[in-house]
Structure 1
Amino acid sequence: MTSKPIGEILIEKNLITKEQLAQALELQKETGSLLGEILISLGSITPIQLYQVITQQGPFEYTGENLHLLAQEIDPKLFLFFNSQDFFQYSFFPYRYDHEELEILTPNPNNVSLRHFLEDKFPGKKLIIKLITPYELDWLAHIFFKDKFLQEATSGLFYRSPEESAMRVFTPVQWISLGALCALILIGVFTLPRLTILILLGLANLFYAISVIFRFVLSSSGAKLDTNSSLFKKNEPQLRPNDLPTYSILLPLYHEPPNVIRQLTTAIQNLDYPPEKLDVIFLIEEDDQDTLIHCKAEKPPYNVRFVIVPEGMPKTKPRACNFGLAFARGEFLTIYDAEDIPERDQLKKAVACFRSSPPDIMCFQNALNFYNAEQNILTRLFTLEYSYWFDYLLPGLYLNHLPIPLGGTSNHFRTKILRDLGGWDPYNVTEDADLGMRASYRGYRVGILPSTTFEEANSRVKNWIRQRSRWLKGYLQTFLVHNRHPFQVVRNSGWKGWFTLQVFIGGTTLGQAFSLILWILFFIWLFNRGEFLQSYFSGPILYLGVFNLIVGNFLGIYLSMLAVFRRGIDRLIFYSLLNPLYWWLTSIAAWKGIFQLFTRPFFWEKTIHGLQIKEK
């Protein structure tokens, strides 16, 4: 045992240089992190080298070399005293105990909060500490709690709150209601065909008009929020490096090519955040050995962990994220997709906004946009849509205090509240939108983060339809789940929240599906104005149809034009005139999503990434 500072011991053993120690000490002054963690994050030493030196420095024994034997000696009865999340929150694992002593395994023997936590649990017992690395702690948790974590990830929400889970697509009441509606329409078509068709056309046009007006009102409100600067300038003074908490990043991966993994690893390393305070988790499916090999080939830094998601169904992104959530150590948590490139200061902005926001804001959604916006016509139209959605519509929902359906990436959460909400619904293929609505109905809010994550826009039509049909199917799942108890929605979110669910969530899929039918009928009427169609398109229905045709399309094109100016991509403005063609493509995806809702509701159609990777 020696009283020498750990830095001196590392230099004596030629594990680090004086320059490396000086750099680490300078960073320690800025961030307040442990010296060993900083040296590991810089790649100066390995965790095992650090803990072997700590063993020589103090009264603690490094036991990771005999971890398999230790695992056989762990007393499972100790688990009854803890919640499995305690092991990650306080960074320890129970080993054994008797009437006088409690032995634990931990990578941080000087953790004061851990000592207080255990003293409260086991008053009067002597605490004996053995050292293991953070990776070995993960291994123990995986060995002992894999089945529990997997069950929670797959069925936890359903067992706790079955009415909030999409595991059951339709409730009996919804099946009866849907069947009665279909029967009523069929009876009407055969007995009173003209009246029935007039009613259906009138309702479709009315719903479409309401949806267009609602989105215009939201966009007009959203234009007032300066998402580029206002929130950050307000919170900037609170950004002190030594106050930055541990931040977890979940990265769900499945069949990703090497170029995508390489770009992702670089993007995470480029984040302006103390690396020793980053908790990066690559979530890799058990049957996807190729992606695991690609990830290891990139030799990511020591703040990256590989968590293998066990085989099982449904094989969805939210199931993988739920499993990864069990391992997360951060006070805050975000998700990035495989092809994402977040702005460098995004995590700091998120921390600043959380620190100055009331506790009922459980999540911040930042904007998404594309780094291959001008690859082809499809990516240009996709960019117009995303710019409009994230820069106008979602800020409009925020300013009007309405529920916000989250985007699938770059959601920044308070980790504890995310766990309290039950995580994501593994059976909902737009788990993000569902979580945003569920949070709202439980009294939480979503804020808008003034930052952007850049993604790869789908450049191939078939790949785009796969992705879009999944989104629209998931919106219908969310619509069905939260309409199981509509009066409860009204009680929790008011009539505005209920209206948003019908028009913004259900209407997104149904409106886009019906629009194709209305377009077809319009062209038939335009080129063949026979007496049959004239009898249906007259009076109020004709006026509504003309309103939707002229005003609806004009507003859609106009808002797309406005969206480009906030992003500084005004060279795309003329492509907004092609939006009707893009909407027809969306209608095709909507019908595919509706069909799959009945045939393959939980099927996750994989979006192919890496078709265009930005070269830095």
Structure 2
Amino acid sequence: MRLEYYRKSLFQEKAKLNTIQIEEIERLERKLKQSFLKIALNFGYLSRSAWRQTLIDSDIELYQFDYNSLLPIEKSKLIQENLHQFLDALIFPIKQTDDQLHVILCDPSDGININRIEAILGQKINSFEIAEDLDVLKALHVTYGAEYLDKAVFGIYDSDRESCAIETFTKPQLYFLGILFSIGLSFFFFFPIGTAITINIVLNLLLFISISFKFVLTLYGSKFEVAKKINPDELEAIDDKELPFYTILLPVFKESEVIHKLVYNLKNLDYPLEKLDIKLLIESDDEMTYNAVKNMNFPCVFEPVIIPYAQPKTKPKACNYGLYFSKGKYLTIYDAEDIPDNNQLKLVYTLFKKISEEYVVVQCALNYFNKKENILTRLFTLEYSYWFDYMLPGLDNLDVPIPLGGTSNHFRFDKLMELGGWDGFNVTEDADLGLRAYAKSYKVTVLDSTTLEEANNDFFNWIRQRSRWIKGYMQTFLVHMRNPLKLYKKVGLKGFLSFQFFIGGTFFTFLVYPILLTFLLFILFLYTGILDKMVFWNEIEISEIILDNVRLFFPDWLVILSVFNFVVGNLMMIYVNMIAVFRRKAYSLMLFSLINPFYWLMHSVSAYKGLIQLITKPFYWEKTNHGLTKATKGPVQ
């Protein structure tokens, strides 16, 4: 059967593509050097479901791969070296002998790419069978992607072992903690009262400093509340022809329920589609998402990348693998449910042109479209509002390390590769990367463009998500504090202190908060004499007996100090939550700031869960379920 017939019969007559669409696809085919079918499927001309039905209606039997028995062919080295071209051609060589080459392909009308593959292998294709594009992509990745997978998992470990979280606690850290515990225990044995008072003072002081730092940081960040780094005239002056390729990585795992929303959100981006390199990163064993994409009954605008199976199964590992198939000058990450400002890519491009080369990352703000769904989503929105709208701008203008958010961070691609990508073993790979960039004299800045996400509306789902985040902060702190003096020399005094209070202070606050609160409530409980009203023993006031002994360890002045610490500390965080509503004019959320002390207790539950997991399964990526909300997107403010 002639190749021209395939194109006319399959695409025009059966798949119902019109002449104009075919001409446009052929133009992109020549420009991007990709398969005609790949262009049609990944640029919104044809749905995968419609294409499969087209093949079935044409009485074409689809080849079914047995991925467990796939073996590289004799010239496998040539395929590994030219894997990108095989992925673009959608051709998988399945059998090779001296005089025969049998392949599985997707588009039998693609004579250009068939000839290209024959030239690479130095052999004519004698026979072929037809399969769906996702099946061919998966076969290519799982059979020939091992080298890229190894780099994705162990890239940081191989290039900079000290910066890799593969080792949770180093021996020096364990020795230090053991010695510190032994000294504390010895002091408590010989000087119990003085030691208890000293520990209480230190914990209260560190808690107060940590909260005060975030309070001052928020006030400082509020000075830049209305600052605009890009004005409308600069945006209007952009010529689409000058725009570079822009890669968008979309890591997904068991998120079939949000794939449809993802396609809709991507179509709204104000950026030339032919200059977008959108990669949907799918784990090879994630049948749920794989089948959802395979059965999509409407056109999509992304290219699937199937990640071969490997542990740890983390987002940074997936993103690292995607880096090796990316083509953009700039790169960003969006989560599956993200709704970025439609002009965000152009804003970032304009900002990168204005700032110096030492700025390698631009972090955009994150917020939520379902903020009024329930109490939890309101509190979550308040937290994200002061974090991204006030604290990060405060860090930016202080010129200290900025821990990146998990999404909407935009990179200069070449600098990201120079940094080695993300640490596949760190479950807050974003925060870690921001610190590694700063330590290498690169800078991170923020931009007043917003990406809306789905706020967790379920308590247990929130705990799973937050415990991973806090565990990741613990990981990041341990990694960068393996050599405190070295860190100090790299980031300077200002950066070092910021790291201690922003990264270390975050999880320290949540771990210490319930302990000190419990002690304080117990002491106040004794002071009120409530115990006497509940229990009597030989008419002796029990609370007085206990209180006399407790006062030895918690004198009145220490109780006053603790009360002051908790009252002022909570008032500061309530105030921070209150001012967080102003930039986005979400005034209806202000009263919910009063619940912040209880919200912090939820953080403490998550922190202890994260601490346990840090010891028992440090690389475990606890899945956060998305698509639970019934709310729809509101206007971006």
TM-score scaled to structure 2, two decimals?
A: 0.78
What does the per-residue CA deviation read over 1:392-440, in whole Å, with 9 as the maximum and x for residues that have no partner? 1111110100101111111111111111111111111111111111111
**8 Å contact kept, 2:84–2:325:** no
Identity of aligned residues (%): 42
Cα distance in 2 for partners of 1:493, 1:336 equals: 29
**8 Å contact kept, 2:330–2:410:** yes
Amino acid of the residue matched to residue 356 of structure 1?
Answer: K
**8 Å contact kept, 2:72–2:143:** no
Establish whether residue 169 from structure 1 lines up as the match of residue 168 from structure 2: yes
Establish whether residue 561 from structure 1 lines up as the match of residue 568 from structure 2: no
State how 1:356-435 maps to structure 2 within 5 Å. 356-435=354-433
**8 Å contact kept, 2:511–2:607:** yes
1:409 counterpart SS class: coil
Amino acid of the residue matched to residue 221 of structure 1?
Answer: Y
State how 1:557-596 maps to structure 2 within 5 Å. 557-596=574-613
**8 Å contact kept, 1:227–1:391:** no
Residue 175 of structure 1: how far off its partner (Å): 0.8
Cα distance in 2 for partners of 1:330, 1:18 equals: 30
Where does residue 209 of structure 2 map in the other structure? Answer: 210
Cα distance in 2 for partners of 1:11, 1:599 equals: 57
Establish whether residue 334 from structure 1 lines up as the match of residue 332 from structure 2: yes
Residue 72 of structure 1: how far off its partner (Å): 8.1
Residue 548 of structure 1: how far off its partner (Å): 2.0
Distance change >3 Å, CA 72–CA 209, structure 1 → 2:
closer
Distance change >3 Å, CA 587–CA 73, structure 1 → 2:
closer
1:224 counterpart SS class: helix
**8 Å contact kept, 1:246–1:277:** yes
Establish whether residue 292 from structure 1 lines up as the match of residue 290 from structure 2: yes
**8 Å contact kept, 2:221–2:391:** yes
Cα distance in 1 for partners of 2:283, 2:77 equals: 31
What does the per-residue CA deviation read over 1:561-607, in whole Å, with 9 as the maximum and x for residues that have no partner? 11111111100110101111101111111111112111111111111
- Segments of 5+ residues of structure 1 without an aligned counterpart are 1-9, 48-64, 66-70, 96-106, 111-126
Cα distance in 2 for partners of 1:603, 1:288 equals: 16
Establish whether residue 262 from structure 1 lines up as the match of residue 286 from structure 2: no
Establish whether residue 324 from structure 1 lines up as the match of residue 341 from structure 2: no
Cα distance in 2 for partners of 1:224, 1:605 equals: 37
What does the per-residue CA deviation read over 1:285-326, in whole Å, with 9 as the maximum and x for residues that have no partner? 222111111122335646412112222211111111111121
TM-score scaled to structure 1, two decimals?
A: 0.81
Cα distance in 1 for partners of 2:87, 2:282 equals: 23
Cα distance in 2 for partners of 1:442, 1:420 equals: 10
Higher alpha-carbon deviation: 413-422 or 164-173: 413-422
Distance change >3 Å, CA 562–CA 263, structure 1 → 2:
same
**8 Å contact kept, 1:282–1:305:** yes
Cα distance in 2 for partners of 1:507, 1:17 equals: 60
Match of residue 349, structure 1, among 323, 347, 350: 347
What does the per-residue CA deviation read over 1:238-268, in whole Å, with 9 as the maximum and x for residues that have no partner? 522111222111111112243x221122111
**8 Å contact kept, 2:578–2:590:** yes
**8 Å contact kept, 2:439–2:487:** yes
Residue 16 of structure 1: how far off its partner (Å): 6.0
Distance change >3 Å, CA 481–CA 89, structure 1 → 2:
farther
Distance change >3 Å, CA 428–CA 498, structure 1 → 2:
same
State how 1:457-536 maps to structure 2 within 5 Å. 457-529=455-527, 530-536=547-553
Cα distance in 1 for partners of 2:335, 2:432 equals: 18
Residue 191 of structure 1: how far off its partner (Å): 2.3
Higher alpha-carbon deviation: 456-465 or 302-311: 302-311
Higher alpha-carbon deviation: 331-340 or 382-391: 331-340
Amino acid of the residue matched to residue 463 of structure 1?
Answer: N
Residue 559 of structure 1: how far off its partner (Å): 1.1
**8 Å contact kept, 1:15–1:45:** no
Cα distance in 2 for partners of 1:316, 1:14 equals: 38
Cα distance in 2 for partners of 1:21, 1:315 equals: 40
Cα distance in 2 for partners of 1:532, 1:569 equals: 50
Residue 79 of structure 1: how far off its partner (Å): 8.5
**8 Å contact kept, 2:268–2:342:** yes
Count of residue pairs brought into register by the alignment: 569
Cα distance in 1 for partners of 2:14, 2:621 equals: 52
Cα distance in 2 for partners of 1:92, 1:282 equals: 16
Distance change >3 Å, CA 135–CA 273, structure 1 → 2:
farther
Amino acid of the residue matched to residue 596 of structure 2?
Answer: N
Cα distance in 2 for partners of 1:109, 1:414 equals: 36
1:348 counterpart SS class: helix
**8 Å contact kept, 2:520–2:563:** no
Cα distance in 2 for partners of 1:77, 1:38 equals: 27
Cα distance in 2 for partners of 1:11, 1:264 equals: 28
**8 Å contact kept, 2:138–2:284:** no
Distance change >3 Å, CA 91–CA 247, structure 1 → 2:
farther
**8 Å contact kept, 2:46–2:299:** no
Residue 190 of structure 1: how far off its partner (Å): 2.4
Q: Pick the structure with greater CA Rg.
A: 2
**8 Å contact kept, 1:278–1:303:** no
Residue 330 of structure 1: how far off its partner (Å): 1.3
Cα distance in 1 for partners of 2:437, 2:608 equals: 28
Cα distance in 2 for partners of 1:448, 1:91 equals: 39
Distance change >3 Å, CA 138–CA 285, structure 1 → 2:
closer
Residue 176 of structure 1: how far off its partner (Å): 0.4
Where does residue 274 of structure 1 map in the other structure? Answer: 272
Residue 143 of structure 1: how far off its partner (Å): 6.3
Where does residue 102 of structure 1 map in the other structure? Answer: none
State how 1:66-215 maps to structure 2 within 5 Å. 142=141, 145-215=144-214
1:602 counterpart SS class: coil
Where does residue 4 of structure 1 map in the other structure? Answer: none
1:313 counterpart SS class: coil
Cα distance in 1 for partners of 2:443, 2:12 equals: 50
Distance change >3 Å, CA 209–CA 282, structure 1 → 2:
same
Cα distance in 1 for partners of 2:630, 2:280 equals: 20
2:269 counterpart SS class: coil
1:365 counterpart SS class: strand
Match of residue 442, structure 1, among 440, 443, 461: 440
**8 Å contact kept, 1:41–1:275:** no
Cα distance in 1 for partners of 2:367, 2:433 equals: 21
Cα distance in 2 for partners of 1:89, 1:397 equals: 42
Give the superposed CA RMSD.
4.3
**8 Å contact kept, 1:232–1:353:** no
What does the per-residue CA deviation read over 1:153-191, in whole Å, with 9 as the maximum and x for residues that have no partner? 111211211100000001110010011112222222222
**8 Å contact kept, 2:465–2:622:** yes
Cα distance in 2 for partners of 1:214, 1:564 equals: 20
Cα distance in 2 for partners of 1:204, 1:234 equals: 52
Distance change >3 Å, CA 322–CA 299, structure 1 → 2:
farther
Cα distance in 1 for partners of 2:134, 2:555 equals: 71
Amino acid of the residue matched to residue 351 of structure 2?
Answer: C
Residue 514 of structure 1: how far off its partner (Å): 0.2
Distance change >3 Å, CA 540–CA 310, structure 1 → 2:
farther
